A and B are shown apart, each in its own frame.
Chain A
């Protein structure tokens, strides 16, 4: 369970997040949608504890991210909007180092590496340095790094960007399997069919706040559109181009 409670954040006097509040339930895949500049990345950074909120708080399970960032990070797997690989390390070294930074050692470390290697089909890549990897391969390694310590919460920032069909499929399969295992999953994306297919819940952000939430079907109902994309456009950009009050009215609680 990830809970974001009335978070405010501004950069150099410009408000980026404005009284942001939502929760991400366990065992579900939640998508965070928003136009560029809607505050998605900032929101995710605050959830991961990389940035501090000006006010409000974020809970991962029952851990306050700002108060106990180390404990929070041990429960968190993050796949950023780029992969964060080190080109001079092999996959094995890379994953082992990050697993150890997460506190794994000895048998537990070996086990974790073995299982992530087979789950994400990393056998062929295992002893190669990541330089020259394809986008799909990089995503796989990055995902493996985020998952190697079996976090209870997984956050992905546009994970399917630039992936080929096979890689995207593997990602989807993995997310679905994790969901089954009870992992809390929050991801941001621009790809509507994917969001529609994967997510149990969708959060739509605009202007630093949530302007819509619910299952894709519920959103469609709310906006009176027949697909997610139209619903998103309606929510995020305002189909009437209306003012803030209007959007707020329409926003579910």
Chain B
């Protein structure tokens, strides 16, 4: 692992932090740059992926450049640590203060700047053409890089694809689809099917959520009742977040079923799975980019259409909407995407609550050479799972060749939670 500081010219930040895992074999293959999601995550946080990408790393250097305002390139956190304020108002107030302090900096942060910085890093490291791996929002950065710096790019790997024209912050419909996919998979599972109509229970829970329940919701870290009551929108978001990860999703039917009996602890446990994750997101950067590039192009009608008849409703969108109201950066629209012919490997999970496979299928017509891997029951980000790292390696080695993706079907949902003892190792058992 080598670390670099790539100098910048002004704009408040002196340099970018770049981490490089050099190729084991310096055979001259083009390096792979990892682009993180968010927006607001740092590429250096993707270091755990290196383990799955070991084979790729044999022949290629893997570069993780923290974009401006993220990670070690001057993280723009606005003081939000691991604890997020539980009510939107406190959140907005803190965000507004942050914006007023660093309004100029906030205005500079954009995808265009990130693409330019990536070019700077590429030249600094003396790389010729590069390959990009983008995850989640990183796929958007990668696709924009392809638009604006096509001559520097050899191939793209996009996991959880956010196409340029896709309004990915309209996530309620996608989350609803992911939940329904979970329902379908649950019905087909002997153990999970026993929970019956847990979905109706979820709807009931959300619609009947009140202050009393919110106040008694146990804290997954301390075990005591929460100091801050859990708001309805936060609960809906917790369910949405659980859908990101199939392991967490496999626990949802049981946890929701338990609430029917007044037991909220399993649901609290699932919420706990994602506690402490927010500190990887630099909120200042997140809002600078999201407000300038996404929120401003979403109309009220679109929000209404997206959130109708979904468990999430506007619970996710409202957070950004209220944030962007106090984060008045200029809109920074993209141009219409132009045709590109670099080989592109697309990866989606068919139960991804934010970037479902349809995004990659419908909104990338301008790409002439693309392949799509869809993981059944897969959540958000599937690159480290099963044979996907191997397929990525093969794709990068000969990007033009169609991949034999039959092994993707072997990636299955983890076993559903059957009861307090965990998964039913006897698959239901005769004695029940």
* Direct A–B touching, Cβ under 8 Å: no
Chain B residues with CB under 8 Å of chain A are none
